[in-house]
Structure 1
Amino acid sequence: MATETGNYRDYQGPASRFPGSAPSTHVRDARLTLLETLIPEIFTAKRCLDIGCNAGRVSCQLAFDFRAASVTGVDIDPQLITQAESLLALRSSRVRPAAHDSQHVVDYFPISAVLKHGYRFEPQGKVSHSPEPSSIPRQWPCVSFVSEDWVVSTNPATTESYHVILALSVIKWIHLEHLDEGLVRFFRKCASSLASGGYFIVELQPWESYEKAIRPNTAPHFQANFQKLKYRPETSFTELLQEQGLDICTTSEALPRRIIVYRKR
C-alpha cells in the first residue's frame, strides 16, 4: 500500500526488472542500462537529479556504476531518505580507495566484510532539509540526499543546473498531489533546472496506473484529486513539455513501462 505521499516502501518498480532478475541493490537497474544503450555515456561525468529517489538505489547506481559526476536524490519521505543514506554508506564502504597508480574499485570489499568490521563511512543518521545536503563521503562519490517536496521547494541545494533529471515512476504521484497546475509547475521547474542540451527522463505511468492508484488498498485519499485531472500522460505530457522547451530525443518500450527521453533546446 502506498503512503499518504504516494511512496511505496521497498519499491523496486515493474520497469526496473528483466524477467528472472533479482531486485537486489547490486544488480544494475534495467532502466539505467537501457538509457545508456539509447544514449551512450548519458550519465558519465554528468550532474544528475533523481526526483522521487525512494531508498536511493538508482541514485547510488548513477554514481558508482554509471560514473555520474554528482547525484542529488530527492524524496518527500524522510524514512526513505534515511534508507538511501544507509545504502550510500554501504556502497561507499565497499569501495577500494584510489591509489597513485589506480582508480577506485566499486564493490571491492564483500558485504560480509562490512557486516563484520562495520562501515568505513557511517550513515548520516539524519535527514537533510538544509541548503547543504549530506554526502558520504564528501569527495568521491559525490552523492547527496534531501527530503523535500521538490515541486514546491526553493532549497538552493536542489535547484542548481543539472545535465540529467530523472523522473522514474514518480510523475503520477506528483500529478495526483498537485493537480494539473502542479504538473505544469513541475515540468517548468525541470526545464529551468536543466542545462542547455540536458536530458529529462520520464518513466511513463499510464492512465490505468492512476486508476489503480486510487483503489481502497493503495491510495484512496487521492480519489477527489483524481476526478479533477484533465491532463493525461499518453496524450498531454509531450505537448506540455514542448511548451517548456523540451523535445523528445528518444523513446523505448523495451521494458514494461515506456521510457521517454526529452532534451532541452
Structure 2
Amino acid sequence: MDDLEPVPQLDPGAAPYGNFPNYYSFHPPETRVSLLPPGLLRKLLQRPSGTETRTDLEPPVLGLDVGCNTGELSVALYSHLLQSTSEASDVPVDLRFLCCDIDSDLITRAQTSNPFPGAISYMALDIMDSSELPDPVHSFLDEFGRSTFDIGFCMSVTMWIHLHHGDQGLVTFLCRLASLCNYLLIEPQPWKCYRSAARRLRKLGRKDFEHFHTLSIRGDMTEKVTHILTSGGSAELIHSFGNTSWDRSLLLFKNTRSAKHSAI
C-alpha cells in the first residue's frame, strides 16, 4: 500500500457514476460482511461430491463483483467466503473472483493493493456496454469451462445504472446479472439516495442526470428491484440480511431458470 498515491478527497458530486475514490472510508466493507452468517454462503455453494470420498480437485467457486471500486469490499467478500467454505472441509477451496468497475483509475488502485492476485482479477469494464462485455466475461468463464458464476455481488450499483440508463437500463442490468450468476447478492440504494445524488450535481452547477426526472420505477427500490428479478419466475428472493448502518437492504436471490445460457 505504500506505493499508492494519496487518494484525492473529491466532492461526491464529482463522481457521477458512483466512482468515489475514497468510498470505503465512509462505507467500510466490514459493515456489509458482518450481516452475512458465516456458513450460509458455504451451504448455498457447496457442491455434492456424489461419493463418500471427496478429491482435492473440486471445481472452482466463481464470483463476479460488479462495481468493485478500489476492491476493498471484493477482498472482504472473498475472505469471508473462503473462510466459510474452508471451515466445512479439509479439502482446499479454489475460489476465483472477477471484479469490474467502469473507472480504470479505481481498477488500477485495486490491482496495486490486491492481496490475492492469483485468485482475484480486476478489470475496467462498462457492464452496460454489450459490445464490450461478452469477451472478457466469457473468457474468464471459459477458462474454467463454465457458463455462469456461482455467485454475483452488486453492492450499491443499481442507482447509478438507473440514473444513467433509465428504467429499461435497470431492468436490462438486473436481468443480465441474474443470467450470469446462480446466486446474486445485491444492495439496492433507496430512493432518497437518488435525490441526494441529483442534489449534489445541482450544487456543483452540473447538468442533471439524463433520466432522473423521467424514471417511473421509483419509491421503495428494494421492492422494485425484487419485483424485477422475480417477475417471470427467473429468480427468487431467498434471504434478506437486514439493513446496513446506512439503511440499505442486503438481498440474496437465486437464479431459478434451468437454462444455462447467458443473456449478453
TM-score (norm: length of structure 2): 0.68
Question: Is the 8 Å Cα contact of residues 71 and 144 (structure 1) preserved in structure 2?
Answer: yes
Tell me the SS of whatever aligns to 1:157: helix
Question: Is the 8 Å Cα contact of residues 167 and 203 (structure 1) preserved in structure 2?
Answer: yes
Match of 2:161 in 1: 174
Alignment partner of 1:240 is 2:231? no
Unaligned runs of 5+ in 2: 1-11, 47-59, 83-93, 142-147, 257-264
The amino acid that maps onto 1:228 is T
Alignment partner of 1:86 is 2:86? no
Question: Is the 8 Å Cα contact of residues 4 and 221 (structure 1) preserved in structure 2?
Answer: no
Question: Is the 8 Å Cα contact of residues 188 and 225 (structure 2) preserved in structure 1?
Answer: no
Tell me the SS of whatever aligns to 1:212: helix
* Cα drift, residue 217 of structure 1: 4.1
Unaligned runs of 5+ in 1: 17-22, 93-135
Question: Is the 8 Å Cα contact of residues 214 and 220 (structure 1) preserved in structure 2?
Answer: no
Match of 1:123 in 2: none
Deviations 1:216-257 (A, max 9, x none): 247954444101111131442211111361111110224231
Return the alpha-carbon distance in structure 2 between the equivalents of residues 163 and 13 of structure 1. Answer: 29
Question: Is the 8 Å Cα contact of residues 50 and 167 (structure 1) preserved in structure 2?
Answer: yes
The amino acid that maps onto 1:179 is G
Match of 1:35 in 2: 36
Could you tell me which of 238, 253, 256 is aligned with 1:249? 238
Paired residues, number = 202
Return the alpha-carbon distance in structure 2 between the equivalents of residues 43 and 61 of structure 1. Answer: 18
RMSD (Å), alpha carbons? 2.5
Match of 2:150 in 1: 163
Q: How does 1:65-76 map to 2 (within 5 A)?
A: 65-67=80-82, 69-76=95-102
Deviations 1:92-132 (A, max 9, x none): 4xxxxxxxxxxxxxxxxxxxxxxxxxxxxxxxxxxxxxxxx
Question: Is the 8 Å Cα contact of residues 84 and 145 (structure 1) preserved in structure 2?
Answer: yes
* Cα drift, residue 60 of structure 1: 2.0
User: Structure 1 residues 5 and 239 mapped into 2: Cα distance closer, same or farther (>3 Å)?
Assistant: same
Identity among equivalent pairs (%): 26
Return the alpha-carbon distance in structure 1 between the equivalents of residues 237 and 66 of structure 2. Answer: 19
Question: Is the 8 Å Cα contact of residues 176 and 222 (structure 1) preserved in structure 2?
Answer: no
User: Structure 1 residues 143 and 5 mapped into 2: Cα distance closer, same or farther (>3 Å)?
Assistant: same
User: Structure 1 residues 188 and 230 mapped into 2: Cα distance closer, same or farther (>3 Å)?
Assistant: same
Name the stretch that deviates more: 198-207 or 157-166: 157-166
Alignment partner of 1:59 is 2:66? no
Return the alpha-carbon distance in structure 2 between the equivalents of residues 247 and 180 of structure 1. Answer: 21
Alignment partner of 1:154 is 2:133? yes
Deviations 1:141-196 (A, max 9, x none): x11111111122333222441111111011100111111111111112112112xx
Match of 1:201 in 2: 185
The amino acid that maps onto 1:181 is Q
Return the alpha-carbon distance in structure 2 between the equivalents of residues 5 and 221 of structure 1. Answer: 14
The amino acid that maps onto 1:77 is D
User: Structure 1 residues 162 and 262 mapped into 2: Cα distance closer, same or farther (>3 Å)?
Assistant: same
